Amino acid sequence: MKKLPKEAFIQDQRLIQRTKSFFIERLSQELSLLEVQAPILTYQGDGIQDDLNGVERPVAVQSQTLSKPLEIVQSLAKWKRQLLARSDFDVESGIVTQMRAVRPDEECLSERHSLYVDQWDWEKVIADNDRHLDYLKETVQKIYKTMQETDQVVAKAMQREALLPRDITFIQTEALRKQYPDLSPSQREHEACKQHGAIFLIGIGGELSDGSIHDGRAPDYDDWSTPNDEGHYGLNGDILVWNPILKDAFELSSMGIRVSPQVMHQQLQIRGCEHRLNYLWHQQLMAGHLPQTIGGGIGQSRLIMFLLQKEHIGQVQFSVWPEELEIPVL
């Protein structure tokens, strides 16, 4: 067992906690969010569970006191929208939680992928006429501003220069495909982040003109099929930055304007998942009982790893790793 240098470990832990506290406070102010406690369990088959890219299996839990099977949440996208409805939140207000999850179907455990997921999961109510690209971009700018301010705090503490560029660049997935037609989606992200430093990639989940998709996205929370103001499709996307330690694109956030009843029905048809219309959550949305929202997740360990310039996510979170995988001490 490797020893952790005591003083360096304490210094890192203090900076991690300071960074997390600063970020969530500023994010709450920018987006008018109330911090609430997040659930870790949901009933199997109630429609609240997310299937993310469509292949991840949730961890099942059996209770001795409850007859229905339970699952550990993989994302809180649907739960947040339901809570906003139950609590009758006003337009332009919302919630943020510190979500904890387990995703055992990660294809590989690496310097950026862990079985343990910790993120700031946020959601806010918007007006129906705000379902357009400009509103999405305005929200991205607010989140990026919060990231920049947090970067400045950490930069001062570490006596380094700021990592994030002044501006974030908005790019459509279709435009990126046309720019790099012979590259894979991850290779396109690499080139775009290397060039711009920080990008918001619009339209994750929808079919591109060559019949491919840039990356998977569940059909019943983000809107990836609506024509947008720039002649493409999708009102969602990812915030990615250039990581100078890994020398690669690095995803920090996934977010988007959520599906309306009509859009969800259409996307379920596209994905062949119309059976989900029998779930309670989906019936609530189709009946108009859930507000229109925008929301997403921001990786806590991902952001901290990036800002503290660590080479492995295991340096900023405690998880489990293969015995043969050597994680740097600090």
Residues taking part in catalysis: 50, 103, 119, 238, 251, 254
The pair of three-digit structure tokens given for residue 282, joined into one six-digit string? 């989906």
Judge contact between 26 and 146, C-beta under 8 A: yes
What single DSSP character describes residue 176? H
Rounded distance, CA 140 to CA 186, Å?
Answer: 21
- What is the rounded distance in angstroms from the CA atom of residue 311 to the CA atom of residue 305? 7
Axis-axis angle for helices 300-307, 133-158 (nearest 10): 50
Spatial contact of 281 and 78, defined as CB atoms under 8 Å apart: yes
DSSP three-state, residue 16: helix
In this structure, what token pair is assigned to residue 98?
Answer: 């510190």
Tell me 48's DSSP state: -
Identity of the residue numbered 238: D
